[in-house]
Amino acid sequence: MDFALETDRTPKPADDSVDKDYYEHWEKTNCVALLIIKTMIARGIRGAIPKCETAKEYLEAVNKQFKLTDKQIGGTIMSELCAMKLIGIGGIRQHIIKMRDLSSQLKAFEIEPTEQFLVQLILNSLPLQFDTFKVSYNTHKEKWSVDELLSMCV
Please check whether residues 59 and 102 belong to one and the same domain: no
Given 65, 87, 106, which residue is the final one in a domain? Answer: 65
Q: Whole-model pTM?
A: 0.56
Given 38, 65, 92, which residue is the final one in a domain? Answer: 65
State pLDDT tens for residues 46-99. Answer: 888 889 999 999 989 888 877 656 778 888 999 999 999 998 666 899 999 999
- Place 126 in a pLDDT band, splitting at 50, 70 and 90: very high
Single out the residue of 45, 149, 35 nearest to residue 97, CA to CA: 149
Give residue 28's identity as a one-letter amino acid code.
K
Query: Apex CA 37: angle with CA 34 and CA 43, to 5°?
Result: 110
Whether the pLDDT of residue 125 is over 70: the answer is yes
Please give the tally of structural domains in the chain: 2
Give residue 141's pLDDT: 80
Residue 127 to residue 124: CA distance in whole angstroms:
8
Given 16, 44, 65, which residue is the final one in a domain? Answer: 65
